[in-house]
């Protein structure tokens, strides 16, 4: 039953590999929990069994640390989906998880770095004009300039990039864009600005052919030093090394994505435009960024309005 549900998530729902791995881990733990309570079939599971599992997640045991609310909520979501699937497939006659709600999570505002810090980070991409430094700069410009997830950036192929001009020629135009492939296999077209266009042009013309000569040929855009496709871990290391050289701490690829969204909204972009650029299925996911900009507005108001002082 569990394998059938996981196959359903992979094939019909198109869940990302990392999400699928998390669901598999959570559900195997759930099945072990049911067996420890003497339950071998989903038809015999009661709501109290599901509630006990949620409590076990939050409390932890000798083999598992206590989960934070977000991780426990993910596990409960997986369990609820499993029981809905069992009911639909006729394996069980009722859904014991229907009324079980995941734990409430504290809203955490995304962290962003300033525009000046982004500029420092990109400027610290490596020894100037070396092939790998040109690659690093192009990668960082794409991450910040498009709001791409790190998996989307390293998943780019050369054919996913469309540039209207070269850095020594035109100033760019409508064709300056990349095609990003996001969660659930959804793809989107994201425009790129002049800085990212010039960095990509320099990398693709002056650096990528040299790096690719060390490998066996790959359509991947960003390559490692051996000429193969750059991995997520490799991209992470590029960012961490640049952050260290720039004197920045705690910088992550997702922080650049947060900064992309926050800076757009600070500049007056509509939240639904940002939603499309980020590839969010729902605008409610994007609206958390508006809280960041409201905080900034409060700070500016308190510092500048003559009647704001108390």
Question: What pLDDT is stored for residue 229 in this prediction?
Answer: 95
Please tell me the distance from the alpha carbon of residue 144 to that of residue 140, in angstroms, as a whole number: 6
Please tell me the distance from the alpha carbon of residue 92 to that of residue 274, in angstroms, as a whole number: 42
Question: What pLDDT is stored for residue 159 in this prediction?
Answer: 93
CATH number at residue 79: 1.10.150
- Please report whether residue 56 resides in a domain: yes
Active-site residue list: 149, 183, 254, 257, 280, 289
Q: Which residue has the tokens 């669901």?
A: 23
Same domain, 73 and 187: no
pLDDT along the chain (310 residues), means of 10: 85 82 91 91 91 88 83 89 90 89 69 92 85 96 93 94 61 74 84 92 94 92 95 94 93 90 87 85 73 67 66
Spatial neighbors of 86 by CB under 8 A, at least 6 apart, are: 1, 5, 42, 92, 95
CB-based contact 54:29 (threshold 8 Å): no
Question: What pLDDT is stored for residue 307 in this prediction?
Answer: 63
User: What is the domain range of residue 69?
Assistant: 2-88
Please identify, among 88, 106, 125, the residue that sits at the C-terminal boundary of a domain. Answer: 88
Question: What pLDDT is stored for residue 32 in this prediction?
Answer: 92
Spatial neighbors of 290 by CB under 8 A, at least 6 apart, are: 265, 271
Question: What pLDDT is stored for residue 169 in this prediction?
Answer: 38
Same domain, 290 and 143: yes
Other beta carbons within 10 angstroms of residue 202's beta carbon come to 20
Question: What pLDDT is stored for residue 170 in this prediction?
Answer: 40
Question: What pLDDT is stored for residue 167 in this prediction?
Answer: 40
């Amino acid at each position: 039953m569990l394998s059938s549900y996981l196959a359903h998530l992979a094939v019909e729902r198109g869940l990302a590999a990392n999400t699928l791995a998390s669901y598999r881990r959570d559900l195997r733990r759930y099945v072990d929990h049911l067996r420890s309570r003497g339950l071998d079939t989903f038809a015999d599971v009661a709501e109290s069994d599901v509630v006990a599992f949620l409590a076990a997640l939050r409390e932890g045991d000798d083999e598992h640390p206590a989960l934070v609310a977000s991780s426990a909520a993910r596990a409960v979501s997986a369990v609820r989906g499993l029981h809905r699937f069992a009911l639909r497939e006729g394996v069980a006659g009722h859904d014991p998880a229907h009324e079980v709600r995941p734990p409430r999570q504290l809203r955490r505002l995304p962290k962003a770095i300033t525009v000046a810090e982004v500029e420092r980070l990109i400027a610290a991409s490596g020894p100037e004009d070396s092939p790998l430094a040109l690659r690093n700069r192009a990668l960082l410009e794409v991450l910040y300039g498009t709001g791409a997830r790190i998996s989307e950036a390293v998943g780019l192929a050369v054919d996913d990039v469309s540039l209207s001009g070269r850095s020594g020629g035109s100033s760019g135009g409508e064709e300056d864009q990349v095609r990003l492939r996001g969660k659930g296999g959804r793809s989107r077209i994201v425009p790129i600005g002049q800085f990212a266009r010039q960095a990509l042009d320099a990398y693709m013309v002056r650096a990528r052919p040299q790096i690719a000569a060390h490998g066996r040929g790959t359509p991947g855009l960003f390559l490692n030093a051996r000429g193969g496709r750059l991995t997520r871990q490799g991209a992470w290391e590029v960012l961490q090394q640049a952050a260290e050289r720039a004197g920045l701490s705690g910088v992550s690829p997702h922080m650049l994505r947060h900064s992309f969204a926050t800076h757009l909204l600070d500049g007056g972009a509509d939240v639904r435009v940002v939603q499309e650029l980020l590839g969010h299925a729902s605008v409610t996911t994007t609206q958390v960024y508006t809280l960041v900009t409201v905080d900034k507005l409060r700070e500016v108001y308190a510092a500048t309005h003559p009647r704001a002082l108390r």
